Amino acid sequence: MARILVVDDEEDLRAFCEAALAGAGHDVATAADGVEALDALARRRFDLVLTDLRMPRLDGEALLRQVRAAWPDVAVIVLTAHGSVAKAVEAMRLGVSDFLEKPVESPGALRAAVTRALGRDPMADVEGVATETRLSWGAAAMVAVESALRRVAPTDATVLLEGESGVGKEVAARAIHRWSRRAAGPFAAINCASLSETLLESELFGHERGAFTGAVTQRAGHIEAAAGGTFFLDEVGELAPSLQAKLLRVLQENEYTRVGGTRTLVANVRWVAATNRELLAAVGAGRFRADLYHRLSVFPVKIPALRERREDIAPLAQAIVARLRVRLGRPGLRLSAQGLAALTAMPFPGNVRDLSNTLERAAILSDGDELQLDAPLPGVPATTAAPASTDAPTLEEAELTAIRQALQRHDGNRKRAAEHLGMGLRTLYEKLKRYRLT
């Protein structure tokens, strides 16, 4: 059961929605316009707001902006007779879960939209490590990404998510699963860079008893456990050559065997892979199989770095702070306008994860409720702290500083510096050339 607020100036439509949703077991309240809706939201907690766009006194778009600012964890569905591509895109920019056109003649269609929207958990983990599934926070580039993923999700096509570390590739993978026909099935994920070759093979395919030292029982692998659902291969570019060949067979034949076994098993999963490396370059260098690359990249999607979608920084920061209020038990935590301005000028080489860490560190070090973004870490020399100037550094200045510090920390090793910064080695070389650091 969910608590749902239906906002529309048409009494008949309010009654229809209330009956359809109450019949599904939801607790439903109604409001005739945005003013009444804000009053209801202030008095009690709701899980979802279903609102018209055109209403007297306070329209749906203005209501949506206030809901996003004050209650960022509340899902929103826009219901309007005036739907268009432009309106849909703008609604997505503002974080709408779904966009339905009037007349909604089927209670089932309305209930399905509500079910999809309630499956979203935008505050669960904004950096994508757990279950955060919100993609679009306002930047046009991410609206395009979300649109592409929504289009491919209902199919079983293999998706390759490309992008730097920390941009939210697992967020995107979970969104694909949630929007797919396999949403009721399991979502399994494995990081190919975190395990040895032998252990990774066992985790993927499972093993039979006695297959190797320590294999005292038969064990199902992640592919088997994810049957009927989605399997997410993170950092697929780190697969060893022998595992690349075995994975290729699974993708081609949908069949595999456990380690040490002979019985053929069916791989009933939808594949989503992710990489922070340039796989085509790895193919050219002979480090990654070309046939496997083409199998994985049926539908490639590039997720832009946070510095390329700076419009996302402010709403992301507000959402992270809302999460920190709960996690740290400090309901008064807030960001000032100056703090938001400072954040939008930072390069965040680690992308959303970097932004999340910055805000959590600031929350821990700030004495009051207002986050201090220039507080130095204990034990760090003062010379490494943010400059005392009240003028925020330009993006280029902040990025140059971050690159210099990474190179210094890793004794000039460019590969390690690139990994530290969360960018590809080729990208780092391009920036070194731009800043004349070569």
Asked if residue 368 is part of any domain, the answer here is yes
DSSP labels for 146-165? HHHHHHHTTS---EEEE--T
Model pTM above 0.75? no
Asked if residue 135 is part of any domain, the answer here is no
350/422 Cα distance (integer angstroms): 5
Tokens found for residue 399? 């990025």
Asked if residue 231 is part of any domain, the answer here is yes
- Domain of residue 165 covers 140-302
- For residue 318, the domain's CATH number is 1.10.8.60
CA–CA distances in Å: residue 328 to residues 219, 239, 355, 418, 427: 39, 38, 17, 32, 36
- For residue 284, the domain's CATH number is 3.40.50.300
Report residues of the chain scoring pLDDT below 50. Answer: 83-85, 89, 120-133, 380-391, 393-395
Q: Are 394 and 345 in contact (CB under 8 A)?
A: yes
Asked if residue 129 is part of any domain, the answer here is no
- E strand or H helix at 100, and its extent? strand 98-101
Position 49 scores a pLDDT of 93
Assess whether 205 and 287 both reside in one domain.
yes
Pairing of strands 219-220, 206-207: antiparallel
- For residue 411, the domain's CATH number is 1.10.10.60
Tokens found for residue 114? 């509500």
Asked if residue 240 is part of any domain, the answer here is yes
Asked if residue 132 is part of any domain, the answer here is no
Number of independent structural domains in the chain: 4
Question: Which of helix, strand or coil describes residue 230?
Answer: strand
- Select from 266, 286, 302 the last residue of a domain: 302
Assess whether 386 and 262 both reside in one domain.
no
Assess whether 38 and 104 both reside in one domain.
yes
CA–CA distances in Å: residue 86 to residues 82, 90, 384: 11, 6, 46
- Select from 267, 302, 337 the last residue of a domain: 302
Assess whether 262 and 328 both reside in one domain.
no
> Phi and psi dihedrals of 337, rounded to 5?
-60, -35
- Select from 70, 88, 118 the last residue of a domain: 118
Assess whether 255 and 351 both reside in one domain.
no
Place of tokens 């056109």: 101
Assess whether 28 and 163 both reside in one domain.
no
Assess whether 153 and 288 both reside in one domain.
yes
Asked if residue 126 is part of any domain, the answer here is no
Assess whether 158 and 287 both reside in one domain.
yes
Q: Are 6 and 17 in contact (CB under 8 A)?
A: yes
How many CA atoms, within 13 angstroms, populate the side-chain half-sphere of residue 135? 26
Position 383 scores a pLDDT of 35
432/144 Cα distance (integer angstroms): 30
- For residue 37, the domain's CATH number is 3.40.50.2300
Assess whether 40 and 92 both reside in one domain.
yes
Q: Are 22 and 14 in contact (CB under 8 A)?
A: no
Asked if residue 62 is part of any domain, the answer here is yes
- The DSSP symbol for 121 reads -
Assess whether 335 and 206 both reside in one domain.
no
Assess whether 155 and 247 both reside in one domain.
yes
Position 369 scores a pLDDT of 86
Place of tokens 């409001």: 31
Assess whether 310 and 388 both reside in one domain.
yes
